[in-house]
Chains A and B, each alone.
Chain A
Amino acid sequence: MNQRPNLPDPHPQRAELYELLEAFCRGDQSPEEHARMEQLVAGDEVLRREYVQYLHMHVCLRRAFEGADEAEQFERVPAEDRRNEAAALTPATVPLRMPAQSPWQRTGSMLACAAAAVLVALFVFNPFAGNKPAPLANVGQPPKKDSVKAAPPATLTRVLGCVWDGPNPLQRGALLTAGRYMLSAGIAEITFASGAVVLAEAPVELEVVDAARGFVHSGRVVARVPPRAIGFVIETRQANLVDLGTEFGVGVGNDGDTLVQVFDGLVVAEGKHGAAKESGQHRLVAGETLSFATDQAKPRSLESSPHRFVRRFPDPKQRGKDELVPHNVARFDTMHIVPAPRRDNAEPNTPAIKIDGDLSDWDLSGMFLSRCVEPYGENYYAAGAMMYDENYLYIAAHVGDPAPMASVIDPETDSEVGWKGGSIQVRISTNPALGWPLESECVYPGPHGRRPVDVHDQLVHLTMWHFAPKNQPCLNVAYGMNYHGKHTNPAGAIGTFRKDDDGLGYVMEYAIPWSELNAKARPLQAGDVTASCWNVHWSDEGGRVWQGYLIDVINPAAKGFTYQKAATWARTILHRQGQLRPGTVKPISP
């Protein structure tokens, strides 16, 4: 007999995985074992398959043997009762029935009985006669008889990070039949056949009634109604809102309380119950807000608030594999840094401009503007600019942020994750001799090993955020692609943050001495070409949970993350003269 050569197992961790799976099956896996199993399974496709197969076997064993007890009970059930078991299901028949056969045959029957049990349980509260639950993604009434095979009344025209409460993830372009749609994450744009467009922000439960009418059961929507769709109605439990060519927002609480805020044009609002109904029609124009409460009192006028209908990023986890995909499409491949205009009364060796959150003393001709993709672009954007002189590198930004300056990331203890709570990150090479594009990479085991260029002190990562609890501007500095020499709030760096008047953004302004950038001996100067890039991060309102980011000013020819691969950083030009001609800062050609 041929002896098989003693080849090494290509998956030496297999035995370890089996041990971990055993602990998992027993239910006594420790957190460390749990983490190790996750690591093994996530990192190896073969082990992943075996993990799934092993668990399937365990499930089959459970199913095979767990039924033994019920099998004994079954033998006591009269034969007559065993007939037509599924057909005989009624609220009154609850027993699990099990033919006494081999374990595997028993398993099959037991599974059938498990299914039967599900049915029985359901029928108890949901008998045949009507009231059958409809699918969650569309739990509305079925189409009316006269509308059968008519064109669906609405179309899903855009989806962003959407998670629908139902079996079929609705894709862009889906035709929507009349019924309820529950969106648990993301933003969806629904275009009604009449031409009205409704932007629904999760969590929301919206019913498509027909081509010219929607019903908001809960949540917030914004309706835009072009002239051809005038007369489009948004209905809630408390009010009917007839749109006369406009844009308006509707918010409905779980109890049906309704708030309508008109952004543009004219809306006629009418209460459906009690005093609200008796008060008749209310004509609302741009800037007006009306509230209909469940107590059926007269509707109340409220002050309009820009915050009410802000489109927020979906929970990043809901984006699944796209969690780390930026919310924007990078538009700029060049950063233009201009000389800082020196104010007349500036002391020597002090910043040329006043660091006060007012950018009126800046030369903003090199500024870029990057917006997140629609519909977030209105609220999530960043305009960035940089200037230089012999003492400082200046960085300024105006960031659209629905939760501005809210970060609670403590610079004393958590500065390494300063980006998480909302921040601006600028990465820059302060040594033009390194050239562009840069070769430097994150020091992971790679074909090159660790090279000097990977850990170069003049590759500088700057993370800037506002620590809300102390109203403190924060700057974290790190060097090289291995992020060595990290420190926070260095002496000499001056920064400030200022919230926008409408509370939907902030301005950041920093002057960072060249010494902090390891370029005191030779600051970047006119004519240099180097590399830099920008990341802007947003958080939740609590300033702790990261919600998403944009990356711009990049080298479109390079792939990878900007924090791992410096080749992705954009060409960066230090101009001799400021006040760049219009058109100098231009987006990447499509």
Chain B
Amino acid sequence: MSSTQLARYEPSTGWTERCGIDGDHESEQAACEKDRSLRFVRLFARHEHQIYAYIVSVMSNWTDADEVMQETSVALWEMFDDFQEGTSFRHWACRIAYFRVLRFRQKRGRDRHEFDHQFVEAVAEAAIEEADSFESRRMALADCLTRLRREDRELLESCYTGGDQIKHVAERLDRPAKSVYKALGRIRQALFECVRRKVAVEERGR
């Protein structure tokens, strides 16, 4: 039995062949879907931090960013058939994320705590440009983390693990919340500087 390749037209890329589907061949269909799932998981796992950072940078609070990230993740899966192999998954995903951000803002309406549209546009553009360096920054951060003093690393881990509020961490550590805030800020800025230096060295070496 011959298997028919379904084609689809996309204005930007023209006709593209799809995974072989034949309505009478359930096993082929399942294999195709399994392949699709693996490809998606692989790409999504590699780029999730970039997509999330992109969303966070244009949203005004973490709860909204999480909600948009969730909607974006679902949309990416739903639209994965539209992703063209060989093109940038990150760019494609960020484009979808951008529309989810716009839709979320439209739904929510403008309030005084939201970034204005020009800001969103400018930052979204910067985030897309910066995203090229996200992977190397992430690797640099991993290295910088190993260079932290043990107590700093433990404090960082305490503050980030389990979603505890910092004041609860402070109570646990029997320290004033203010001092924990301060220490956390100092550690993050040290990490940021460390990453900056490492990435600069790496770029000079290219």
| B79 CB → nearest A CB, Å | 5
User: For B121, what are the chain A residues with a Cβ–Cβ distance below 8 Å?
Assistant: 320-321
Q: Are B115 and A86 in contact (CB under 8 A)?
A: no
Q: Does B188 contact A (CB under 8 A)?
A: yes
Give complex CA distance A349, B15 in Å: 75
Q: Does A87 contact B (CB under 8 A)?
A: yes
* Contacting residue for B15 out of A59, A61, A149, A156, CB 8 A: A149
Give complex CA distance A329, B197 in Å: 50
* Contact-size category for B: 35 or more
User: For A112, what are the chain B residues with a Cβ–Cβ distance below 8 Å?
Assistant: 41-42, 44-45
Binds B, one of A127-135, A297-305, A351-359, A446-454: A127-135
Binds B, one of A140-148, A252-260, A402-410, A430-438: A140-148
Give complex CA distance A58, B189 in Å: 11
Q: Are B134 and A145 in contact (CB under 8 A)?
A: no
Closest to B5 in A: A148
Q: Does A94 contact B (CB under 8 A)?
A: no
Closest to A155 in B: B11
User: For A118, what are the chain B residues with a Cβ–Cβ distance below 8 Å?
Assistant: 44, 73-74, 76-77
Evaluate whether A59 and B123 lie within 8 angstroms (CB atoms) in the complex, with A27-B62, A38-B116 already known.
no
Give complex CA distance A142, B6 in Å: 8
Q: Are B81 and A320 in contact (CB under 8 A)?
A: no
User: For B40, what are the chain A residues with a Cβ–Cβ distance below 8 Å?
Assistant: 115, 119
Q: Are A48 and B123 in contact (CB under 8 A)?
A: yes
Q: Are A42 and B9 in contact (CB under 8 A)?
A: no
| B42 CB → nearest A CB, Å | 8
Q: Are B41 and A103 in contact (CB under 8 A)?
A: no
Q: Are A175 and B9 in contact (CB under 8 A)?
A: yes
Chain B CB within 10 Å, residue with most, of A65, A68, A170: A65
User: For A128, what are the chain B residues with a Cβ–Cβ distance below 8 Å?
Assistant: 29-30, 33
Q: Are B160 and A60 in contact (CB under 8 A)?
A: no
Beta-carbon contacts of B9-32 to A below 8 Å, as 1s and 0s?
111100100000000001001100
Closest to B160 in A: A65
Closest to B39 in A: A86
| A32 CB → nearest B CB, Å | 11
User: For B122, what are the chain A residues with a Cβ–Cβ distance below 8 Å?
Assistant: 41-42, 48
Beta-carbon contacts of B49-69 to A below 8 Å, as 1s and 0s?
110110011001110000000
Q: Are A119 and B37 in contact (CB under 8 A)?
A: yes
Closest to A174 in B: B11
| Interfacial residues of chain A within 389-425, with CB under 8 A of chain B in the complex | none
Evaluate whether A61 and B79 lie within 8 angstroms (CB atoms) in the complex, with A111-B44, A115-B44 already known.
no
* Contacting residue for A59 out of B30, B52, B115, CB 8 A: B52
* Contact-size category for A: 35 or more
Q: Does B101 contact A (CB under 8 A)?
A: no
Give complex CA distance A102, B37 in Å: 26
Closest to B126 in A: A48
User: For A173, what are the chain B residues with a Cβ–Cβ distance below 8 Å?
Assistant: 11
Binds B, one of A161-169, A467-475, A530-538, A555-563: A161-169
Q: Does B34 contact A (CB under 8 A)?
A: yes
Q: Does A486 contact B (CB under 8 A)?
A: no
Evaluate whether A55 and B195 lie within 8 angstroms (CB atoms) in the complex, with A135-B79, A149-B7, A167-B79 already known.
no
User: For A134, what are the chain B residues with a Cβ–Cβ distance below 8 Å?
Assistant: 78, 81
Closest to A68 in B: B161
Closest to B119 in A: A42
Give complex CA distance A26, B29 in Å: 47
Q: Are A57 and B48 in contact (CB under 8 A)?
A: no
User: For B185, what are the chain A residues with a Cβ–Cβ distance below 8 Å?
Assistant: 18-19, 22
Q: Are B7 and A55 in contact (CB under 8 A)?
A: no
Give complex CA distance A120, B79 in Å: 16
Q: Are A167 and B62 in contact (CB under 8 A)?
A: no
Q: Does B205 contact A (CB under 8 A)?
A: no
Q: Are A87 and B45 in contact (CB under 8 A)?
A: no
* Contacting residue for B41 out of A59, A86, A171, CB 8 A: A86
Give complex CA distance A318, B74 in Å: 23
Q: Are B130 and A56 in contact (CB under 8 A)?
A: yes
Chain B CB within 10 Å, residue with most, of A18, A54, A175: A54
Q: Does B117 contact A (CB under 8 A)?
A: yes
User: For B10, what are the chain A residues with a Cβ–Cβ distance below 8 Å?
Assistant: 168
User: For B38, what are the chain A residues with a Cβ–Cβ distance below 8 Å?
Assistant: 86-87
Chain B CB within 10 Å, residue with most, of A52, A58, A60, A149: A52
Q: Nearest 7 CB-CB pairs, A to B?
A: A174-B11, A65-B160, A112-B45, A115-B44, A56-B53, A104-B142, A177-B9
Contact sample, A vs B, 25 pairs, CB 8 Å cutoff: A22-B184, A25-B188, A26-B184, A38-B116, A42-B119, A51-B57, A52-B130, A56-B50, A57-B141, A59-B56, A60-B137, A61-B188, A61-B191, A63-B49, A65-B156, A66-B162, A87-B38, A107-B49, A114-B44, A119-B37, A122-B77, A129-B29, A133-B78, A143-B7, A156-B11
Given A107-B49, A133-B78, 8 more A-B residue pairs with CB atoms under 8 Å apart are A26-B184, A56-B130, A65-B161, A104-B138, A114-B45, A167-B75, A177-B9, A321-B121
